[in-house]
Amino acid sequence: MTQNEKLAELSKAGVAVWLDDLSRDRIHSGNLESLVDEYSVVGVTTNPTIFAAAVSGSDSYDDQVHAMAVRKVSVEEALRTITAADVRDACDLLAPVAQRTGRDGRVSLEVSPQVARDTDATAAEAAHLWWLVDRPNLFIKIPATQEGLAAITTSISQGISVNVTLIFSVERYRAVMDAYLSGLEQRVRGGGSLDGIESVASFFVSRVDTEVDKRLDKAGADPSLKGKAALANAQLAYQAYEEVFSSERWHLLQAQGAQPQRPLWASTGVKNPGLPDTLYVSGLIAPGTVNTMPEKTLKAYASHGSPGKPIQQSYEGAAAVLQAVADAGVDFDEVFTTIEDEGIQKFVDSWNDLTDSVRSELEDKS
């Protein structure tokens, strides 16, 4: 099968195309395989919201749930068995991509959002999920909360590949990169190998515009400022990435076999229908990055996407945009705190929905 030309060009520009969705139906129907073959997809991300939708909207899980009901397993064990099975199967499907690229072919599985504010519990669950799925092309997703930073360092030092999620500010992103480098340094000091350890830092995009634009409206600001802060924020994140991964500290680790922690653009589906549906893809094209897209966004770019100017040419303009937004009365510290809290709560709610769905299925089939 031939690859979509626009997405193939995106890949050639250094952007790894990932799918932000997973379900058992996608795997068993051949849908995921077709996206790999035809749409340049080389990775998959999941989160509690994605799994809640997958499990509640399909009967593909019935046999597995029935078997667990007979065994009288707990809801928590059943939930993790279900999600780990899907992620393991997706890892196996993408194993040839991992072998071909050396870096991609990854599938992400998130720790419970209920432990997002607990360092030790996050690190312990990350280790358990790494053992449970038992695939080298797995990523464990850990939220970039203050409490999550130390868990990131611990996990990396244990040889666990990590997808750091829910990053909204450049300041927190710098702390995430530091946590990653600290984990590598700890592993080296302990005599461990850096071979096979990978990490991505998921910098969320569209949610920034959603919150900023709401505040711009409330302040009666110039409407021309709307729909610009998210791209500017992400573009400056890439500038920070270039700085950190050209430092002497990084070069010392690189000499010992370390891989850079790639920026991953997440939440790239446009939530405001007044904005171009490929905005958060076209404006974030840079080498050594990942863009994880909902299928709708993926196919929109495949249909009519076109690249914007390279990120490296946007830094000055991006800084000016954020300054103008701040001058209009938007407090970015408040914005980032708000959307981090909302992001965690959204995943907690989805986790609870998923737990309730699995509990109900176990009861029905017992």
Between CA 134 and CA 47 the distance in angstroms is 19
As given in the structure block, the two tokens for residue 95 are 């194993």
Give the active site residue among 6, 141, 226, 228. 141
**Torsions phi, psi for 274 (to 5 deg):** -80, -10
Per DSSP, the three-state class of 25 is: helix
- Clarify whether 296 is annotated catalytic: no
Cβ atoms of 35 and 295 within 8 Å: the answer is yes
CA pair distance 69, 72, nearest whole angstrom: 5
Eight-class DSSP state of 163: E
* 211-218 long-range Cβ contacts below 8 angstroms, 24+ apart: 211/335, 211/338, 211/339, 212/325, 212/330, 212/335, 213/272, 215/329, 215/330, 215/335, 216/325, 216/328, 216/330
Measured in degrees and rounded to the nearest 5, phi and psi for residue 106 equal -95, 150
Active-site positions?
141
